Amino acid sequence: MPLSRSLSMTSLSGVLPQWEDDQLPVEDLLLFEVAWEVTNKVGGIYTVIQTKAKITVDEWGENYFMMGPYFEHNFKTQVEGCDPPIPAIRRAMDALISNGCQVHFGRWLIEGSPYVILFDIGSAAWNLDRWKGDLWDTCNIGLPYHDREANDSLILGSLIAWFFKELTDQLGDKPNVIAHFHEWQAGSGLILSRSRKIPMATVFTTHATLLGRYLCAGNADFYNNLDKFDIDKEAGERQIYHRYCLERAAVHCAHVFTTVSQITAVEANHMLHRKPDVVTPNGLNVKKFSAMHEFQNLHSTSKARLQDFVRGHFYGHLDFNLDKTLYFFIAGRYEFSNKGADIFLEALSRLNYLLRVHRNDVTVVVFFIMPAKTNNFNVESLKGQAIRKQLWDTAHTVKEKFGKKLYDALLRGEIPDMNTILDRDDLTIMKRAIYATQRHSLPPVTTHNMLDDSTDPILSNVRRIGLFNSRMDRVKIIFHPEFLSSTSPLLPMDYEEFVRGCNLGVFPSYYEPWGYTPGECTVMGIPSVTTNLSGFGCFMEEHVSDPAAYGIYIVDRRFRSADESCNQLTQFMFSFCQQSRRQRIIQRNRTERLSDLLDWRYLGRFYVHARHLALSRAFPDKFKMDPMAPLKTEGFRYPRPYSVPPSPSASLHSTPHHSDVEDEDDDEPYDEDEEAEKDRMNIKAPFTLGAVPDGKKDQPGESRN
């Protein structure tokens, strides 16, 4: 079905393939989406369901409902209570309430304002033993008493299955019900609903397999041994066998099984023994700017605030040119190996060596934004910001006095004597300010006092590679072990503002079922590094012919050794450092154009396809669909940009050091409208690429030095 699209001067609107699937009769259907994270922020699934709400409400209107657990604080702060618009839902809720189980209804105060039905787990906990017996009788899965999370998920699932039974009894044959369940915590509701033969279509989505997370967290060689793991044994050793059984049972009970990426589909096929029917990639609500240069202006403004922080953090050692400083960052949960922080640190050590050997005048400041255990801000970090502000005040005071004397002299028609325009007191103040910036220690690597300083993985590896922010290092490291906040006294920026100020996001993850961080960089026009083991990286490889030309660098961590992957990451970063300012501006424009590809208005069609497929399997007499028909988007890819790409592979300097003539090219006129139109003209109708020849080949954007 055609979906409305946003238009923008810098977008590639109109080139994405149109959706030609038959439109569902939503007025004769009810859609329920079940997840533990409805109004309850725990992890990435919260972002998925929250951002997807608006396009789903636009399509389904008042026939769309979300379901999850009730938490009093979340309900009071995020939900506006109201009455259900459909009498059958009210009666189904009353049936549960009359039996002592509390159910709450309202509108979730997010974009789209979807209806939510929230079940109070505590009010129904007295049924737990009986419902454990029902689960055992149904599918021979037993839950241990000490696993609070599994027990709570069973209570929620039992309440939801009970609700659906009451609802379908009220509705009869029309309207038909679609229930979409996310992750194993909602799985018991699906299992019980199917075992009781409740007439509804079901979809189950796994965002990451349970066992996959545990195995990768234990540093297993996961992807090379997918077909060799003894699944039952591995789950049992980690004491999650009952959770694994719930997840696997839900997968096999669902009419349609989906995952969020191709790499997770491969994982699920081995871990859960069912090949996903549909891949439903995660999207974002993309807000386009009316003016093509607006996001570039935001980059400049945010970068200026980052430079202020760097001036304070490196006071006394600020012997590098801030105009030739690039800002890289990595952010996310503190999973040292899964998020790729290990390979990133090693690559930074090699990048530092290359920049020093080639006497490159570029400095790279790298931020690690990963929450860890701390007890407060580092005194040295706070002192640096205080000294910076003091210097600014001193300079401002002297400037005002200087300006007033200069103004008075010019009014008298005199050229002032520069030797006397500043008196001895002014010089004394400036000398004291200079002496205050003297520092006998190196700028700190971390901005906070770490509780586990000696065993912290990032700090331990920093000590191993010897990147201590010394004067000779061209790569400087700043570990900020807290999520960013605009109210912080140290770095007062929120995450979006921080990302906009950086030049490159680096996310070389080993285990990342999707990966919102590089996606968020893309919609803000910031180039990023990802891997072919992340869902985002696989999606970009599938939909973009040369991702590097659009500012998406994909490290091969699946078919290369760790050392080869590290060298490739180093090469990507070194090549990025060699770009001119103009090349980086062109690349940011191209990166921002890919945001249409990550918009829910495009990616929501995969969920539409999954629902239609589920209806055709649950109610084959009413809904027809060719199960073998491919999605209309298969084979579509953005081709290489029309003009010469800004990718370093095609535009490396003959020597790593820029010449003065090349630096002057930064002022060369650049017509963004013309560039965008050339790219649009180059993009043809969807096509299918031929098979990739066997053998190793270089990634787009990779060069050999």
Bridge partners, 376 (sequence order): 449
Please state, in angstroms and rounded to a whole number, the distance separating the CA atoms of residues 303 and 309. Answer: 10
Residues in the chain: 705
pTM score: 0.84
The SS3 of residue 358 is coil
Residue 13 pLDDT exceeds 80 = no
Please state, in angstroms and rounded to a whole number, the distance separating the CA atoms of residues 355 and 617. Answer: 59
Q: Kindly tell me the burial class for residue 582, based on how many C-beta atoms sit within 10 Å of its own C-beta (0-12, 13-18, 19 or more).
A: middle
679 pLDDT tier (thresholds 50, 70, 90): low
Residue 86 pLDDT exceeds 90 = yes
Q: What is the mean pLDDT of the chain?
A: 86
Please state, in angstroms and rounded to a whole number, the distance separating the CA atoms of residues 373 and 662. Answer: 46
CATH superfamily of 26-279: Glycogen Phosphorylase B; (3.40.50.2000)
Q: Where are the domains of the chain?
A: 26-279, 293-378+444-597, 385-441
Distances (CA, A) of 574 to 60, 557, 646: 48, 18, 14
410 pLDDT tier (thresholds 50, 70, 90): confident
Neighbours of 389 (CB within 10 A): 12
pLDDT of residue 472: 94
**C-beta separation of 254 from 181 below 8 A:** yes
Q: Which residue has the tokens 């081709």?
A: 639
Residue 262 pLDDT exceeds 60 = yes
220 pLDDT tier (thresholds 50, 70, 90): confident
Q: Per-residue pLDDT averaged across 274-302, rounded? A: 84
Please report, as a single letter, which amino acid is at residue 114. Answer: P
407 pLDDT tier (thresholds 50, 70, 90): confident
**C-beta separation of 335 from 214 below 8 A:** no
pLDDT of residue 637: 67
| pLDDT > 90 fraction of the chain, expressed in percent and rounded | 67
Condensed to tens digits (0 to 9), the pLDDT of residues 88-123 reads: 999 999 999 999 999 999 999 999 999 999 999 999
Condensed to tens digits (0 to 9), the pLDDT of residues 174-188 reads: 889 999 999 999 999
Please state, in angstroms and rounded to a whole number, the distance separating the CA atoms of residues 185 and 204. Answer: 11
Please state, in angstroms and rounded to a whole number, the distance separating the CA atoms of residues 164 and 253. Answer: 16
Residue 210 pLDDT exceeds 90 = yes
* Pure H helices in 272-329: 294-313
CATH superfamily of 293-378+444-597: Glycogen Phosphorylase B; (3.40.50.2000)
Pick the closest to residue 478 from 363, 333, 343 (CA basis). 363
Supply the angle between the helices 187-195 and 241-253 in degrees, to the nearest 10.
50
> Pick the residue with more confidence: 89 or 672?
89
650 pLDDT tier (thresholds 50, 70, 90): very low
Residue 433 pLDDT exceeds 90 = no
Pick the closest to residue 523 from 552, 491, 553, 492 (CA basis). 552
Q: Per-residue pLDDT averaged across 660-680, rounded? A: 51
Strands, E, within 87-135: which ranges?
A: 103-108, 115-119
The SS3 of residue 365 is strand
- 553's enclosing H/E stretch is strand 552-555
Q: Per-residue pLDDT averaged across 287-304, rounded? A: 79
